[in-house]
């Protein structure tokens, strides 16, 4: 079974990108539309993303590197595993340029040459220890955790997650889904994280599912199914050039997979961890040195104290486990 990786990246220091961004946003440092410096800035860690892939997941067939036409100077585009993908290669022209990640993500199944089984990464998701194909796909299905979670609706992200759930509830009967795939919803590996499943098993509607926020395996056919069912909503909101409350996030496709039973139960929290660097930078640095997890997310924030020091310490941690250049680097 071929497995591809898809990763999105942007160089916000690119003058051409800055000019286009300012043109459409009205402000080169716009936070109003959910576009802050922390969402796009790059401290040079991308090379460790590629080093981690080569050292810990050499089995990947192809890496689809998705940008608006940018490329790091050091990236060897002639590497046979690299496929440079421009937004215009798979997103309809009427929705470009876009600075809304969820618009990019909903169309990624249209990337030319994409394998039927693929794993989606943000550029702040890193592999820091050995990982097998079976971690992402088992019996041809994505490995995932199906557990409900509380949604406080206090942020734009939570509101958009609720948008997803509205579509899910229109197309799936919760009682039927949980009865049909009972063993997958109540897998013992979930442990205490499944408590909402037990509490809400007689509730008629789906609510928010827990989101691990890390590398996510997908079936390409899932995107085709969702587009066939909710193409109107997805097309209408594709015109949101920046994040908006009406958006649908890629979790829509993940939840659809789960409701279809197209997944193998796996407690993804066993080997993945998200570190909000504003409050957990020291723990993130320690986790990299110790290779405590297979996958980590380093969640940037404009309010990180001692930013330069934190980034320097993270870089030293990465260098300790990934000191050698990869074949992806010139």
156-171 helix and 220-237 helix, angle to the nearest 10 degrees: 120
pLDDT at 164 over 80: yes
| pLDDT tens column, 275-328 | 988 788 899 999 999 999 999 999 876 777 788 898 899 999 999 999 999 999
pLDDT at 29: 52
Please say whether the dihedral angle defined by the alpha carbons of residues 58, 67, 46 and 103, taken in this order, is positive or negative.
negative
pLDDT tens-digit map of 244-279: 999 999 999 999 999 999 999 999 999 999 998 878
Strand partners, 217: 119
Angle at 247 between CA 243 and CA 252, to 5 degrees: 125
CATH placement of domain 3-321: 3.90.550
């Amino acid at each position: 079974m071929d497995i591809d990786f898809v990763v999105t990246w942007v160089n916000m220091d690119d003058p051409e990108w800055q000019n286009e961004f300012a043109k459409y946003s009205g402000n080169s440092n716009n936070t109003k539309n959910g576009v802050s410096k922390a969402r796009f800035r790059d401290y040079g860690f991308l090379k460790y993303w590629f080093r981690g892939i080569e050292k810990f997941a050499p089995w990947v067939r192809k890496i689809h590197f998705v940008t608006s036409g940018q490329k790091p100077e050091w990236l060897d585009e002639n590497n046979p595993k690299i496929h440079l993908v421009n937004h215009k290669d798979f997103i309809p022209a009427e929705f470009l340029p876009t600075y809304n990640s969820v618009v990019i993500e909903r169309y990624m199944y249209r990337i030319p040459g994409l394998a039927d089984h693929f794993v989606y990464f943000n550029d702040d998701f890193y592999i820091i220890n050995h990982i097998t194909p079976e971690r992402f796909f088992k019996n041809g299905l994505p490995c995932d955790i199906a557990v409900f979670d509380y949604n406080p609706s206090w942020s734009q992200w939570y509101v958009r997650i609720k948008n997803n759930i509205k579509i899910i509830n229109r197309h799936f009967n919760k009682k039927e889904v949980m009865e049909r795939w009972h063993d997958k919803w109540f897998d013992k590996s979930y442990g205490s994280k499944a408590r909402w499943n037990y509490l809400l098993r007689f509730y008629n509607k789906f609510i928010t599912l827990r989101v691990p926020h890390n590398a996510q395996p997908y079936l390409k056919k899932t995107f085709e199914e969702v587009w066939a069912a909710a193409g109107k909503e997805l097309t209408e909101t594709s015109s949101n050039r920046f994040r908006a409350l009406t958006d649908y996030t890629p979790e829509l496709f993940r939840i659809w997979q789960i409701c279809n039973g197209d997944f193998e139960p796996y407690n993804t929290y066993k080997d993945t961890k998200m570190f909000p660097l504003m409050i957990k930078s020291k723990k993130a640095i320690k986790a990299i040195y110790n290779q405590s997890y297979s996958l980590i997310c380093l969640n940037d924030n404009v309010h990180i104290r001692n930013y330069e020091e934190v980034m320097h310490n993270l870089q030293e941690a990465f260098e300790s486990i990934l000191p050698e250049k990869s074949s992806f680097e010139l």
